């Protein structure tokens, strides 16, 4: 495990090791035990897209591990003013011990990794969000115990979250059903790669436009905003397309009685999810958000130690 660009790059053993370490670090933190395993290390944090959870969890996380995070927005570095990714990467590789980048094009992250001599962590691109998907699996594991054989239903846009959840679920042997409008389905190459992984893990992969059929007997229901960052100009057309793709009490009622609800946040109550669901007893979204801290600490510790 040299970098974390997508969940597809990880083996099942590496994923399980991240779970184990994240839970260990979480337990230690709750007990007031310090774990300065990255003392003296620095993480460069490049943000082309703004964030709440990603920035705070990485910055607090590297601090709790004994290191420091350096926030670098597009306005702060020459990368935003014409310097090549290759040149920026070669320079930063001599200053810091790891780079987390949150940006638009996934190809930028791949180019960063190609030229870096230090670990690269994908904090989000338009195509993938591996840190979030690993966090989601960790949260499900805490609530459900085992992951293999569970069914996750994702409702909404076939976006970077859908891509990462597809790959992550297949890796650990979870069944996954994606319910989305016909014109907003996940990328065909990602679906094909997921089905290939699923053949080995024994999981079921389904892409459908029927939200109730997809949600039937689900152990986990998951949704995301209808318009991701960068899609705001399509908001009116997306609201019309996604009107029927809301997680509400009817959808929850066809899932298992002990199903949990997840959302990567921020949430738009009244759009992709009703307030009744996200604020209800089955919702674990704030435990899920907290786990970003613990999972990302585990990722940094594995890559940068």
Residue (of 277, 263, 278, 295) closest to 154 by Cα position: 263
Residue 103 labelled as part of a binding site: no
Catalytic residue among 163, 263, 292, 294: 292
Residue 4: HSE in the Cβ half-sphere, 13 Å Cα cutoff: 31
In this structure, are strands 151-155 and 260-263 parallel, antiparallel, or unpaired?
unpaired
Residue 68 labelled as part of a binding site: no
Largest CA distance in the chain: 54
DSSP assignment letter at 233:
G
The answer to whether 224 is a known catalytic residue is: yes
The Cα 238–Cα 225 span in angstroms is 10
The Cα 44–Cα 234 span in angstroms is 32
The Cα 18–Cα 295 span in angstroms is 7
Residue 75 labelled as part of a binding site: no
The answer to whether 132 is a known catalytic residue is: yes
The answer to whether 269 is a known catalytic residue is: no
Are 146 and 299 in contact by the 8 Å Cβ rule? The answer is no
Residue 130 labelled as part of a binding site: yes
Catalytic residue among 3, 64, 97, 102: 102
Residue 292 labelled as part of a binding site: yes
Catalytic residue among 224, 263, 294, 296: 224
The answer to whether 129 is a known catalytic residue is: yes
Residue 229 labelled as part of a binding site: yes
Catalytic residue among 264, 288, 294, 296: 264
The Cα 93–Cα 304 span in angstroms is 12
Residue 224 labelled as part of a binding site: yes
Residue 223 labelled as part of a binding site: no
Residue 51 labelled as part of a binding site: yes
Question: Tokens 């007893």 identify what position?
Answer: 281
Catalytic residue among 132, 246, 288, 296: 132
Residue 210 labelled as part of a binding site: no
The answer to whether 76 is a known catalytic residue is: no
Catalytic residue among 55, 106, 129, 238: 129
Q: Which residues are catalytic?
A: 102, 129, 132, 224, 264, 292
Q: Which residues are annotated as part of the binding site for carbamoyl phosphate?
A: 51-54, 78, 102, 129-132, 264-265, 292
Q: Which residues are annotated as part of the binding site for L-ornithine?
A: 160, 224, 228-229
Q: Which residues are annotated as part of the binding site?
A: 51-54, 78, 102, 129-132, 160, 224, 228-229, 264-265, 292
């Amino acid at each position: 495990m040299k970098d974390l660009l997508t969940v597809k790059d990880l083996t099942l053993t590496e994923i399980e090791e991240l779970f184990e370490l994240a839970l260990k670090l979480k337990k230690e933190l709750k007990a007031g035990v310090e774990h300065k395993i990255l003392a003296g290390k620095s993480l460069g944090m490049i943000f082309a897209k703004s964030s709440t959870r990603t920035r705070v969890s990485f910055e607090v996380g590297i601090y709790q591990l004994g290191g420091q995070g350096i926030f670098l927005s597009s306005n702060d570095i020459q990368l935003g003013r014409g310097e090549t990714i290759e040149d920026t990467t070669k320079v930063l590789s001599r200053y810091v011990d790891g780079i987390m980048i949150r940006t638009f094009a996934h190809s930028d992250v791949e180019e960063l990794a190609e030229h870096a001599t230090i670990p690269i962590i994908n904090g989000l691109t338009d195509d993938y969000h591996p840190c979030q998907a690993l966090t989601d699996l960790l949260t499900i594991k805490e609530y459900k115990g085992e992951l293999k054989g569970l069914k996750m239903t994702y409702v909404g846009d076939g976006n970077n979250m859908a891509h990462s959840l597809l790959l992550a679920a297949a890796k650990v042997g979870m069944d996954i059903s994606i319910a989305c409008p016909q014109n907003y389905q996940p990328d065909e190459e990602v679906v094909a790669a997921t089905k290939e992984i699923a053949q080995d893990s024994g999981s079921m992969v389904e892409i459908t436009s029927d939200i109730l059929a997809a949600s039937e007997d689900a152990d986990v229901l998951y949704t995301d905003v209808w318009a991701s960052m960068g899609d705001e100009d399509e908001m009116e057309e997306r609201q019309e397309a996604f009107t029927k793709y809301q997680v509400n009490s009817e959808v929850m009622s066809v899932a298992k009685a002990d199903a949990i609800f997840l959302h990567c946040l921020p949430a738009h109550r009244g759009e992709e999810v009703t307030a009744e669901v996200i604020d209800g007893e089955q919702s674990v979204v704030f435990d899920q958000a907290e786990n970003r801290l613990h999972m990302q600490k585990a990722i940094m510790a594995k890559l940068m130690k």
